[in-house]
Amino acid sequence: MKELLLLSGLGILSLIAEILNVRKLIYPLVIIGLFLNIGFCVSDFGHNEAIYGMMVLDKIPLAFTILFSFIAILWFTMAKNYFKDETNLSDHFSLVLFSLVGVFILTSYTHLVMLFLGVEILSIPVYVLAGSDKRNLYSNEAAFKYFLLGAFASGFLLLGITFVYGALGSFNVVQIASSAMSPYGISQQLLIVGFLLILFAMAFKMSAVPFHFWAPDVYTGAPTVITAYMSTIVKIGAIAGFYRLFSVVLSFYTHYNFVLLLMAVLTIAVGNIIAASQSNVKRLLAYSSIGHAGFIILGICVLSASTPYVIWYYLLAYSLASIASFWVLMLVSKQKDDEDISAFNGLVKRSPVLAGTMIIALLSMAGIPPLAGFFAKYFILLNVIEKGYILIAIIAILASLIGVYYYFKLIIAMFSGTSEESAAIEVPLFTKLVLILISVILIVVGVLPDFILGLIFR
C-alpha cells in the first residue's frame, strides 16, 4: 500500500508544484521518491499484503514494481532535458507519475475492476504525452490514433469483464479460478467470449498481432522520449496485467492456449519480418518491440513454475536495451533532425560511447551471448521445448535470425562512412556515465542471470 500512496502522492505534488512554487524541486523529489519506492518493495518482501480484496502485494508484484521503478529512474534521467524545455513541466511530470500508478495496479490487481482502472490510469496520460509535441503534426496524429484505437480496446475490455462476471458471478480473479473447478452455474459461451474480448484488449496494449497496427505510427509520431516510455514502462504494465489474469485463466481453461500460441507466433514473425524492411530507426525499433512482445506472450503460454521469473528477466533485459537504444537515437537525431539509418553513419568515430552503447543494446535485443537478451530468449525457448512445442521454437529461432539481420544493418552503418560526414556529437559527461552503466548492467545481467534472479526473488 505504501508504494501506491507514494506514487500517487508524487503525482499530486507534481500537479500542484506551480501553486506551491516548488517547480525546481520536482525532478530531484521524483528521483528520490522512485528510489524510496524500490526500498519499500525490498522491505515488503515476504509480507503478502492484501489491499481490500482488490489488490495483493506478494513477491511477484513487488518484483515487477522494483523493475518499473528502476526503469523509470533511467527514463527520467533520459528525459531531463526534454522536461526542462517545456513550460508546462509540472503537467508532464504528473501525467507520467499517474501512469506509473496504473502500472502498479496492473502488477498487483486481484479484481477485474482494478484491471480496467489500471489500464485506463496507465493509458489516458500516455495518450496526452504522445501528442505533447504540439507543433509537430505527426505527434498530434499519433496521439489521436492512439486515443481512438485505445478507446475501442477499452470498450472491448469492459465488455469482456461484464461477460466474465455474467458467466461466473464474480470479479475476483481467484474466485474466477475456483468457480472454474465446477461447471455449476457457468455459462460457457459468455465465459469464452468474455475472455476473448479481454485478450483482444490486452493484446492491443501489448501491440501484439493482429492488434499491432497502431504501434509503428504512434511510436514514430510521438517524441522519442515518450516513445521510449511506451516501449518500456507501458509495455511492462501491459504484460504484467496480461500475465496476472491469463496465468490464472490458462491454469483452468487450457483451450485458450491455442489462441495465445497462434498470437505469439504471428507477433514474433510479423514484427521481425516487417522490421527488416525499415529504414527509419524509430519504426525499426517499433516493429522490433512487437517481435519482443510475441516472445513474452509465448513465455506466458507455456505456463510453468518458472514463468514469472522468466517474464521478469525478459522485461528487464528488453527494457534496458530499449531505453538505451532510444536514448542514443534521441541524441543522434537531435544533431541532424534525421531518424534514418544513414544518420548513424560513422557514429563509432563521431561518438564512441553512443556507438558502443547502441551496439550492446542491439546485440542484446538480437539475442547474442553473453548479453542479457540471449538468456531472456533462451529461458523462454527452453520452456517452449520442454512443453513439446518444437515447431514453434524453431519458428521463434528463425524469426530471431531475421532480427539479427536488421540489428546488424544498423550496427554496420555505425562503422561505415567517415567522420567528416558529420561533426562529433557532444554528450554530457553524466549522460555518458549513465549509458555506460546501462551497458554494464546488460552484460552483468547476461553473465549472471541466476544471481540477478536470486537477488530479486530471494
Beta bridge partners of 51: 55
**How far, in Å, CA of 292 to CA of 315, rounded?**
9
User: Where in the sequence is the domain holding 269, given as residue range(s)?
Assistant: 2-456
How does residue 351 score in pLDDT terms, banded at 50, 70 and 90? confident
Phi-psi label, residue 340: left if phi above 0, alpha if psi -120 to 50, beta otherwise: beta
Q: Hey, which bits of 54-118 come out as E strands?
A: 55-57
Convert 202-257 into a string of H (helix), E (strand) and C (coil).
HHHHHCCCCCCCHHHHHHHHCCHHHHHHHHHHHHHHHHHHHHHHHHHHHHHCHHHH
Give me the mean pLDDT over the 295-305 stretch: 88
pLDDT at residue number 229: 93
Q: Grid coordinates in use for 206?
A: 501489448
**How far, in Å, CA of 335 to CA of 355, rounded?**
15
Question: pLDDT tens digit string along 209-264?
Answer: 888 888 888 998 888 899 999 999 999 999 999 998 888 877 777 777 888 899 99
CB atoms within 10 A of CB 6: 19
Nearest to 281, CA basis, from 358, 388, 379: 358
How does residue 92 score in pLDDT terms, banded at 50, 70 and 90? confident
Q: Where are the alpha helices (DSSP H) in 112-234?
A: 112-130, 137-168, 173-179, 188-206, 214-221, 224-229
Nearest to 242, CA basis, from 190, 207, 288: 207
Contacts of 421 (CB under 8 A, 6+ apart): 345, 346
pLDDT at 87 over 70: no
Give me the mean pLDDT over the 419-431 stretch: 75
* Cα 400 off chain centre by: 19
Helix then strand count (H, E) for the chain reads 22, 2
DSSP 75: H
H or E segment to which residue 181 belongs: none
pLDDT at residue number 376: 92
Question: pLDDT tens digit string along 71-86?
Answer: 999 999 998 877 765 5
pLDDT at residue number 453: 84
Question: pLDDT tens digit string along 325-345?
Answer: 999 999 988 877 778 888 888
130 vs 68, 69, 170, 231, 438, CA distance in Å? 19, 21, 36, 12, 25
Q: Grid coordinates in use for 455?
A: 537477488
pLDDT at residue number 375: 92
Number of structural domains the chain divides into? 1
Q: Any idea which of 58-62, 215-219, 384-388, 451-455 has the lowest mean pLDDT?
A: 451-455
Task: Determine contact, residues 29/13, Cβ cutoff 8 Å.
Answer: yes
* Radius of gyration for the alpha carbons in the chain, expressed in angstroms and rounded: 21
pLDDT at residue number 454: 83
3-class DSSP state of 1? coil
Contacts of 152 (CB under 8 A, 6+ apart): none
Q: Let me know if 58 is exposed, middle or buried by CB neighbors in 10 A (0-12, 13-18, 19+).
A: middle
Q: Which residue has the cell 489516458?
A: 124
H or E segment to which residue 51 belongs: strand 49-51
Beta bridge partners of 109: 55
